Structure 1
Amino acid sequence: MAIESDRRDGTTAAPPQSLAFVPVRHPGRWAGVAAVAVLAAMFVNAMLTNPRLHWDVIAQILMDPTVLRGLRTTLELTVLAMAIGLIGGVVLAVMRLSSNRLLSGSAWLFIWAFRGTPVLVQLFLWNFLSALWPTVSIGIPFGPEFYTWEYNALVSLFTAAVLGLGLNEAAYMAEIVRSGISSVDHGQTEAAAALGMSRRQQLRRIVLPQAMRVVIPPTGNETISMLKTTSLVSAISLVDITRAGQDIASRTFQNIPSLIAVSLWYLFFTSLLTIGQYYIERHYGRGSRSLPPAPPQRLRSLLTARRKPAASAAGGTS
């Protein structure tokens, strides 16, 4: 079969060549990567080769019974304080958005007082409140008392720490929940009311599930912050993991190894909380355009992105 001529001189045109894709070069980016890699290598080398760090001592402190008991206290404080903060925050947010001025004013006063004073001061107040009220009783207001307890017997160090951390957290969670509730379109509550749903049903079935998309990220940050804020309870002589590390350091004079061991435990549990927050955000962010990819999806996209230039180069060569 003859090839038709497409030029005036009778010669045939050469077949079109495939386009070669040249990636854009980023010298500044690679220079930054090299600088970070060098600094990271220097840091790792300094941590591993410094004989004064005593990694064997750090390993012993990590599993010391005193540290493990303090770790348990820290985790219990975090869970209980966040539970009080979440429940109290939802209640305060609903009160704050209420059309009743007494309810909204009371919630605003609570938030103002507990957000306006340091949490360490509140811990001291709950610990030394027996100076003002040595006994606590229940009965008829301004009338006879049925049961009476001593404050120090009723409110232990652990209880004072839970109350101080939990009520302070409730003030912050109230504003977080209020912002999440306010982010839901008012037309949805109107439609729910038109269907005959009560105010409680609207809040439980319509408003809160949608508000969780806004509430979850700052709540995760507050949980991680609470895990570290529990270290303040050492000021009222409650033995948490930080106080346990300080006690070991005062006995053995190994201050840096004790601090490193305590920091490793904090880093471990904050990492777990970060992973949990990531997947909870994905659960409540379904249907959103800004849904972050999961780690397996990131790995798959990275492998796919590397295969595409190789396939393009092979096609260009053929």
Structure 2
Amino acid sequence: MPATLDDKLVVAISSRALFDLEEENQVFDAGDAQAYMQLQLERLDVPARPGIAHSMVRKLLRFNEDGVARVEVVILSRNDPVSGMRIFNSGAAQALRLERGVFTQGRAPFGYLRPLHADIFLSANAQDVHEALAAGFPAAHVMVGARPAGNGYPDELRIAFDGDAVLFSDEAEQVFQKKGLAAFQQHEKRKADEPLPAGPFKPFLEALHRLQHAGPPGLRIRTALVTARGAPAHRRAIQTLMRWNIRVDEAMFLGGLPKGEFLREFEPDFFFDDQSGHIQQAAGFVPAGHVAAGVTNAPASQATPRPRRRSNRA
């Protein structure tokens, strides 16, 4: 029977998102690709240290521990095939079961997401993430300098999501950007019982929801919605999740408060947000990735200036 990725949660991830390769990457960024390849070859048997997304990937792969293949992690990297050997060696040294990888030697790899049927793409290359999102795949630019995940919940995968432009569309954010906070609140109050359109990460949340109900005993997934929305705009977010028949374990409606300290208490293995300011602040507390979707990530020539007041949305 031919190999297939059907019925699996497929994570496509770049080598720098999974492993700490920043020292080697400095050589590459200096413009000497040959020296970079030589350095990787010299370190072939030196395992790379865990990267920012390592905790999330390690816990996801534990859902295969009972012998049922529920999760597939595929390295999707701009690295050359020689450097790819080190990536697989590093995975083996850290007991990560990595069987598949695509190494493009500098060429944009996002096109391979489609044949992989990827549920999410994590990369340290912002342009690759932008192109993946444009192609319709959940994708995040991993902040390689973020604080690593804690170890307080070894048997629980914890994922936190922003709302607008991440789980939900940016419909409401567009109202806020154009007309301000009062108009945003009125808009959301008026449409409280009308579900928000899906955002780029709804499919990934759905995949986690399925995995939660199919996983082996002793492992669980805990999800959180962490949004700058507050009352009365909270209701539409909750109603939307109910309409989707998806449950999140925690919801934080912060009314514009900084998210970092709340995330530190939740202790996620990863946090996804569309706003670069939120991500930069959160990265001081937890592993984080920027979802470059929606109006807040539009080119400056297309964006509407943000009102000079504290936001009350995701």
Structure with higher Rg: it is 1
TM-score, structure 1 normalization: 0.22
Of structures 1 and 2, the one scoring higher in RCO (CA 8 A, sep 6+) is 1
Q: TM-score, normalized by length of structure 2?
A: 0.22
Greater share of residues in strand: 2
